[in-house]
Amino acid sequence: MKVYTEKQIQARIDAEVSQAVAPLLKRIEEMEETIAKLKKNSSNSSKPPSSDIVKPSKTTGKGSKKKRKRGGQKGHPRHQRRAFTEEEVTVRHPEFTLDLDPNVWEPLEEWDIHHQLELKVDPLDVHEYRARHYVNRFTGEIISAEIPEHILVGGIAGPRLSAFVGFLKGRCHTSYTTIETLLDEVFGHRLCRGTLAKIVTSRVSPALAPVYGELFGVLPLQAYLGIDETGHKDSGDKFWTWCFRAEDFTVFHIADTRGAVVLRDVLGTAFGGVISCDYYSAYHCFMKESSAVMQFCLAHLIRDVKFLAESTDKVTRNWAEKILELFRELFSLIHRKEELTEAYFQRMLIKWRDELIKKFRAAPDRPGARNLRKRFKVNPKKFFTFVTTPGVQPTNNMTEQAIRYLVIDRRITQGTRGKKGRDWSERIWTAISTCESQGRPIFQFLCDAVEAHFKGLDPPSLMLAAC
């Protein structure tokens, strides 16, 4: 009988234990990865806020901020409605007086004045246009004057009502059924849904076509663009809405692909400006095909690092926390730019950039961290183009803010049904976002555009300093 030494017995036990524990450790690792994925939200990943399932806790604990009170905040400027001018008052009611003894009470030219806005009983005017007929006294031939084309082209709705219907549909996310009900019950005039759809897609949308085309055409000439994309549904089919954000305007483009072909078609391979974007592969393809310079969004990168900072792996967690601290230093510097000299600010920017690149390249060989290390081996300075290029922002937040409106519209309207709907969406979203960034009222712009379209005049421009 073979006799085993104590060392051999212990080795055999260790081997059997290792063999039995190995699948358990693997299972624990898989469960930890699953739990980590379930913990992903808009604060530690590129997921949109609308995808957050669990709302943050309302309870306040140690170190948490106290819930602020509703209404105006201390130290904030007070906003009050301006008083109406004499010219703005359209209805004057009889004065309220007292029946007093004039020998005792002398009336003064001083008044307590109260202004009140009121909706008219019938806010709509019904315009009637007549073209007289004439008969030839000798031949009996009858001819008539012509009603001007700019009146006939509007159909049942004039330019301001057409613009109002487009405003309700595009800016207010209102359904045709709701607009029909509003016009019927509040305005006293019913227009069916088919007529309303015709006003939007065949009146207002064509009025915006040249405005949209003008902005679309100057996109390749821009020195700096923020670009992002989000899903779009059209009759159940998957499309993508691309957002191109320039300094003074925004253009939305709906395509059936999320690939680099959209960037080639819209910007052309001769494009040599700076593009602020996320790390999606389409931008890498376009970067290789064109002269474009990328500014990969630091906000997306920081969210990826935040996710790793919540890892159960201590090495990964410690590394991610150090990265976040470096980012805090970087953005603290950016926020203090006005207090610093240009030379010192630039020198410190380069310092924190180099520190971050060095830290990312030294990422631990762990899942997640390994992917970030790979990114910084290929294009490390593409995350910091803003350091050496004035006017470029470190994040793509402005573009993402423009897309939020689309997400709301998509959730309410459930997408479009056909090319006319996609054309309308591209044009009205572009007009709304651009007007807001330029501080222009969108309703008045729609009125001007529709009236110009009806009369065959040049449309109003949204370009400003686009070129």
The residue ranking higher by pLDDT, 428 or 381, is: 428
For residue 305, what are its two tokens? Answer: 């690092």
Question: Which is more confidently placed, 84 or 244?
Answer: 244
How far apart are the C-alpha atoms of 125 and 410, rounded to whole Å? 34
In a domain, 373, yes or no: yes
The pLDDT of residue 9 is above 80: no
Q: Has residue 28 got a pLDDT over 80?
A: no
Q: Which residue has the tokens 């020198």?
A: 347
* In a domain? residue 312: yes
Q: What separation, in Å, do the N-terminal and C-terminal C-alpha atoms of the chain show? A: 94
- pLDDT value at 263 more than 60: yes
Number of structural domains (the chain) is: 1
Name the residue type at position 400: E
- Give per-residue burial for 81-97: e unless 16+ CB within 10 Å, then b: eeeeeeeeeeeeeeeee
Strands 224-234, 274-277: pairing is: parallel
| Mean pLDDT of the region 134-145 | 95
- The model's pTM is 0.81
Between CA 278 and CA 396 the distance in angstroms is 8
Asked if the structure places residue 127 within a domain, the reply is no
Residue among 295, 300, 297, 298 nearest 385 (CA): 295
Are 317 and 299 spatial neighbours (Cβ–Cβ below 8 Å)? no
Length of the chain: 467
In a domain, 68, yes or no: no
Residue 454 in domain: no
- Is there a domain that residue 173 lies in? no
49 versus 397: the higher-pLDDT residue is 397
Q: Model confidence over 392-406: pLDDT tens digits?
A: 999 999 999 999 988
Please say if the pLDDT value at position 50 is more than 70. Answer: no
> Which residues, including other chains, have CB under 8 Å from residue 283's CB and lie 6 or more apart?
227, 260, 263, 275, 277, 294
Q: Which has the closest alpha carbon to 447: 165, 189, 128?
A: 165
Under the banding of pLDDT at 50, 70 and 90, the label for residue 385 is: very high
Residue 321 domain-assigned (yes or no): yes
Mean pLDDT of the chain: 88
Q: Report the number of secondary-structure helices (H) and strands (E) in the chain.
A: 16, 7
Q: How many CA atoms lie within 13 A of 249 on its CB side?
A: 24
Would you state the pLDDT for residue 96?
Answer: 93
Checking if the pLDDT of 3 tops 90, the result is: no
| Beta strands, E only, 283-345 | 293-296
**222 and 246 Cβ atoms separated by less than 8 Å:** yes
CA distance 393 to 383: 11
Helix (H) or strand (E) holding 440: none
| Residue 463 pLDDT level (bands cut at 50, 70, 90) | confident
Query: Which structural domain, as residue segments, surrounds residue 359?
Result: 298-395
Look at residue 443 and tell me if it is in a domain. no
